[in-house]
Chains A and B, each alone.
Chain A
Amino acid sequence: MARNEESRVGVFVCHCGVNISSVVNIDKVVQAASQQEGVVVAKDYKFMCSTPGQEMILADIKEHKLNRIIVAACSPRLHEETFKKVLFTAGLNPYFFQMANIREQDAWVTEDKELATGKAISLVTGAIRRVRLHESLPTREVDIKPGVLVIGGGITGIEAALQIADAGHKVVLVEREPSIGGHMAQFDKTFPTLDCSACILTPKMNSVGTHPNINLMTSSEVTDVSGYIGNYDVTVKTKARFVNHDLCTSCGDCMEKCPVKVPSEFDEGLEKRGAIYTLFPQGVPNKPVIDAENCLMLIKEKCGLCEKVCEPGAIDFKDREKETSITVGSIITATGYKFAKPSILRDYGYGIFDNVLTAPEFERLNNSAGPTVGEILLKDGGKPQSVAILHCIGSRDKNFNEYCSKVCCMYSLKFSHLVKEKTGAEVFEFYIDIRAAGKSYEEFYDRIREEDVHFIRGKVGSVTNIPLNDEEKGKLVVIAENTLAGKRLRVPVDMVILSTGLECSDGVTDMTRMLKLSIDKDGFFIEKHPKLAPTETATDGIYIAGCCSGPKDIPESVASAQATAAMALKLISKGKVEVEATTSWINEELCAGCKLCIGVCPYNAIEYDEEKGISILNEVLCKGCGTCAATCPNGAAMARHFNDQQILNEIEGVLLS
């Protein structure tokens, strides 16, 4: 369609049930729109996005030979694509469309009906003025490279990688620790079924380790991502391991001989490990790495015992950090969570008294492969007679994390059961609310209650070791209020477990920058849509699974992993994808080669052509931010669909009434 062809605008105003029409006078908006220059039809309908609504637009395009369409309804973030498809079906270029957001940004935020109607008319007028200048834009198709990158090797990343690999496609799984497994590998039992965590996780880990379609990169981190859907170029940095894994036979002799003893991260510091170590005995890959910060050979060039005992000669102190470049079509982010360590922990005696543990520490203490071989013991080796479990530590707390971490109630119930089962101790659960919404969760709660666990509704104020009577001597005293009974309580116990919440994992900021994702106020990645696209993001071809978008339990994490695998597989099976046509471009007739645009482009998409003496824009690299267009001093660089004249017209339009 020629640019100068007379524009015939159709305006369609949506009631959205009563969402819009209860505040905005639809008739007045329709009437005002119909008086605007270029408007041929102005109509309203109860639900414009419904099939009859869409068909109405289709019919009017045909009947009135419309070539520009306005829908005044909800946010374009919700339904712009829906209506662009209608235009496409009608044989119009989808970019001859503009939405006026009169729901989220008008009806829902305005009380005064008259002013809301006036605002709607302004927004519609702006849209009409703008749409008349819209240009036909070609749709661009790009090929999807078949590989998929999965970032994070916890249960979520493992599941996503396996699903894609099993479908016959190549996956690169990047994990920053020396082994995959994530938090789930630290647990002994999982709620509510109390299956053995290792029993269900390790087979999956082994499948990853041996899968011909999975390239597992441990001790590695993604350091750079560039490109776009279907074509992401990724740089992965692999730390020096100082052990040649091709030669290593996993005999373990080196670890026995290593004289260094440092706290084990995996055991939450409850146990020691050597400078040459595996993360845990069932790790995948099950081969040791040397921790350069603690190895005597690497810091002082003394020792070298491991090298001496290693028969296959796998120790290599000359190993260096490596960078690997890979190209993939899509990226699944499964960077998980970390347990919160809020400063409030000290109020509960954490770090001051022995036998005050955080949840992950208790998980290790209880783990049959942990420091006590699964026996729940006090620091002095004795068995606890009584244990208090304190809920919501740092969660649901305006001073720390406002949100509910979702899994703590359930794991706390699991702890009660395990303590009861293994020690027979008396257990007190101090809770705000018990949240047991999930399959068989309420039943699990019932079961624990029947196990004679004391449930006390009330948040604990502090934990002290100062006794007020003989009974409290030598005990940890939990000071709380029973809010149901309206009584202050002092409960002497031997062990306190702090149910700490889940927080976004470290390194989220880097990921945000590299993957162009947004994070919410708590640091979790924001979904493309909270309900309808919970595993997609605002960046096409980048998906989020597991706890990186918010706390989830294991079944939910696995389900989201499978969902992202489906998204990645969908791309692969399509082979091609349409990408936004709204990139910038440079008009060679106007470009004077001043080079001002080159430095402002965040994607290095603009280069100077010495021969022509002008700047050239690479549209494949361009993401359409339009910064070059705003910078270009003489209008040569232009942002498609957001060009100066379109925006200036919209400004005129919204200020007209």
Chain B
Amino acid sequence: MNRDPKIVAFLCHWCSYTGADLAGTSRVKYSPHVRIIRIMCSGRIDTAFVLKALREGADGVLICGCHPGDCHYQSGNDKALKRHIMLKQMIGQFGVEPERIRLEWISASEGDLFAKIVDNFTEQVKNLGPLNWKETMRPKSGEYHEQT
């Protein structure tokens, strides 16, 4: 990849964001290309957020929630899982490799795991190459059309 990958990570406040903070307090180093966005629950993640991130230039999107059965809001992570699987089944139709989106369960005590997953996912996204979705929106040469 000729540029650093861009990854957006949505982390639920109670487990995963706390886990990511723990990675920090434990001074575990991981790939710096991930941009964390905090939401209260993985059930809050609208599939539109994932697609928006890809459109705005993300090469990969990571969603982290509490482990099944541990959701602070009982079952938000179940909803996240179903949306995620559905999006993965669809995204290939847009020519986007399903491996660019990933869902992981990270508990508040799994700072190490969070760091490992970020590193592993970054590597995976790097291997897929840049997505450059915004650039692909621009018309091909020959189309005299100009974007308004």
Q: Chain A interface (Cβ within 8 Å of chain B)? A: 75-77, 101, 103-106, 108-112, 115-116, 118-119, 122-123, 126, 509, 512-513, 516, 518-521, 526, 538, 582, 600, 602-603, 623-627, 629-631, 639, 642, 644, 647-648, 650-652, 654-655
> What are some 11 contacts across the A-B interface (CB < 8 A)?
A75-B21, A104-B21, A104-B23, A105-B20, A105-B24, A108-B25, A109-B23, A110-B29, A115-B33, A651-B52, A655-B6
CB distance from A503 to the nearest CB of B (A): 16
Q: By the criterion CB–CB under 8 Å, are A112 and B57 in contact?
A: no
Q: By the criterion CB–CB under 8 Å, are B8 and A651 in contact?
A: yes
Tell me the nearest residue of chain A to B39, going by C-beta.
Answer: A642
Tell me the nearest residue of chain A to B113, going by C-beta.
Answer: A521
Contacts of A644 in B (CB 8 A): 46, 48
Q: By the criterion CB–CB under 8 Å, are B49 and A626 in contact?
A: no
Tell me, in angstroms, the Cα distance from A622 to B13 when the chains sit together.
Answer: 16
Contacts of A509 in B (CB 8 A): 69
Tell me the nearest residue of chain A to B74, going by C-beta.
Answer: A602
Interface membership of chain B positions 43-55, coded 1 if the CB is closer than 8 angstroms to chain A and 0 otherwise = 1111011001100
B115 within 8 A of A: yes
Contacts of B76 in A (CB 8 A): 602, 625, 627
Tell me the nearest residue of chain A to B110, going by C-beta.
Answer: A521
Q: By the criterion CB–CB under 8 Å, are A126 and B35 in contact?
A: yes
Most central of B35, B49, B69 by chain A CB within 10 Å? B35
Q: By the criterion CB–CB under 8 Å, are B43 and A655 in contact?
A: no
- Pick the residue among B21, B24, B27, B57 that contacts A655 (CB under 8 A): B57
Contacts of B35 in A (CB 8 A): 119, 122-123, 126, 654-655
- Pick the residue among A518, A623, A625 that contacts B15 (CB under 8 A): A518
Contacts of A116 in B (CB 8 A): 32
Q: By the criterion CB–CB under 8 Å, are B14 and A600 in contact?
A: no
Contacts A76-B38, A647-B49 given; 18 further ones with Cβ under 8 A? A75-B21, A77-B21, A101-B21, A104-B23, A108-B27, A109-B28, A110-B29, A126-B35, A126-B37, A518-B107, A624-B40, A625-B72, A625-B73, A626-B40, A642-B39, A642-B40, A648-B52, A652-B56
In order of increasing CB-CB distance, the 4 nearest A-B pairs are A104-B24, A626-B44, A627-B43, A625-B73
Q: By the criterion CB–CB under 8 Å, are B32 and A101 in contact?
A: no
Q: By the criterion CB–CB under 8 Å, are B30 and A109 in contact?
A: yes
Q: By the criterion CB–CB under 8 Å, are A75 and B24 in contact?
A: yes
Tell me, in angstroms, the Cα distance from A600 to B70 when the chains sit together.
Answer: 17
Tell me, in angstroms, the Cα distance from A341 to B88 when the chains sit together.
Answer: 44
Q: By the criterion CB–CB under 8 Å, are B49 and A105 in contact?
A: no
A108-B27, A126-B37, A538-B14 known; A655 vs B53 contact (CB < 8 Å): yes
A518-B107, A623-B73, A625-B41 known; A101 vs B115 contact (CB < 8 Å): no
Q: By the criterion CB–CB under 8 Å, are B24 and A109 in contact?
A: yes
Q: By the criterion CB–CB under 8 Å, are A101 and B73 in contact?
A: no
A77-B17, A602-B73 known; A626 vs B39 contact (CB < 8 Å): yes
Contacts of A118 in B (CB 8 A): 32
Contacts of B52 in A (CB 8 A): 648, 651-652
Tell me, in angstroms, the Cα distance from A526 to B14 when the chains sit together.
Answer: 11
CB distance from A132 to the nearest CB of B (A): 16
CB distance from B144 to the nearest CB of A (A): 29
A110-B29, A625-B43, A642-B44 known; A631 vs B24 contact (CB < 8 Å): no
Tell me the nearest residue of chain A to B36, going by C-beta.
Answer: A105
B62 within 8 A of A: no
Q: By the criterion CB–CB under 8 Å, are A600 and B40 in contact?
A: no
Interface size on B, residues (CB 8 A): 51
Contacts of A123 in B (CB 8 A): 35-36
Tell me, in angstroms, the Cα distance from A581 to B21 when the chains sit together.
Answer: 24
Q: By the criterion CB–CB under 8 Å, are A103 and B41 in contact?
A: no
**Interface SS majority for chain B:** loop
CB distance from A655 to the nearest CB of B (A): 4
Q: By the criterion CB–CB under 8 Å, are A629 and B70 in contact?
A: no
A109-B27, A624-B40, A642-B39 known; A648 vs B49 contact (CB < 8 Å): yes
Contacts of B6 in A (CB 8 A): 655
Contacts of A75 in B (CB 8 A): 17, 21, 24
Tell me, in angstroms, the Cα distance from A624 to B72 when the chains sit together.
Answer: 11
Q: By the criterion CB–CB under 8 Å, are B40 and A639 in contact?
A: yes
B97 within 8 A of A: no
Contacts of B4 in A (CB 8 A): 115
Q: By the criterion CB–CB under 8 Å, are B27 and A602 in contact?
A: no
Contacts of A76 in B (CB 8 A): 38
Contacts of A526 in B (CB 8 A): 108-109
Tell me, in angstroms, the Cα distance from A519 to B72 when the chains sit together.
Answer: 11
Contacts of A582 in B (CB 8 A): 40
Tell me, in angstroms, the Cα distance from A600 to B41 when the chains sit together.
Answer: 13
Tell me, in angstroms, the Cα distance from A648 to B72 when the chains sit together.
Answer: 24
Tell me, in angstroms, the Cα distance from A649 to B29 when the chains sit together.
Answer: 28
Tell me the nearest residue of chain A to B27, going by C-beta.
Answer: A108
Q: By the criterion CB–CB under 8 Å, are A518 and B29 in contact?
A: no
Q: By the criterion CB–CB under 8 Å, are B70 and A512 in contact?
A: yes
Contacts of A109 in B (CB 8 A): 23-24, 27-30, 32, 115
Residues from 89 to 113 in B contacting A, C-beta threshold 8 Å: 107-110
CB distance from A122 to the nearest CB of B (A): 5
Contacts of B39 in A (CB 8 A): 626, 642, 647
Q: By the criterion CB–CB under 8 Å, are A600 and B43 in contact?
A: yes
Contacts of B21 in A (CB 8 A): 75, 77, 101, 104-105
Q: By the criterion CB–CB under 8 Å, are B44 and A625 in contact?
A: yes
Tell me, in angstroms, the Cα distance from A625 to B15 when the chains sit together.
Answer: 13
Tell me, in angstroms, the Cα distance from A122 to B110 when the chains sit together.
Answer: 25
Tell me, in angstroms, the Cα distance from A631 to B48 when the chains sit together.
Answer: 11
Q: By the criterion CB–CB under 8 Å, are A518 and B108 in contact?
A: yes
- Pick the residue among B8, B45, B66, B75 that contacts A654 (CB under 8 A): B8
Tell me, in angstroms, the Cα distance from A631 to B69 when the chains sit together.
Answer: 20
Contacts of B70 in A (CB 8 A): 512, 518-519
Tell me the nearest residue of chain A to B47, going by C-beta.
Answer: A630
Q: By the criterion CB–CB under 8 Å, are B25 and A104 in contact?
A: yes
Tell me, in angstroms, the Cα distance from A116 to B44 when the chains sit together.
Answer: 28
Tell me the nearest residue of chain A to B6, going by C-beta.
Answer: A655
Contacts of A631 in B (CB 8 A): 79
Tell me, in angstroms, the Cα distance from A526 to B22 when the chains sit together.
Answer: 12
Tell me, in angstroms, the Cα distance from A516 to B24 when the chains sit together.
Answer: 25
Tell me, in angstroms, the Cα distance from A115 to B46 when the chains sit together.
Answer: 29
CB distance from B6 to the nearest CB of A (A): 6
Tell me, in angstroms, the Cα distance from A647 to B35 when the chains sit together.
Answer: 13
Tell me, in angstroms, the Cα distance from A600 to B46 when the chains sit together.
Answer: 14
Contacts of B29 in A (CB 8 A): 109-111
CB distance from A120 to the nearest CB of B (A): 10
B125 within 8 A of A: no
CB distance from B122 to the nearest CB of A (A): 12
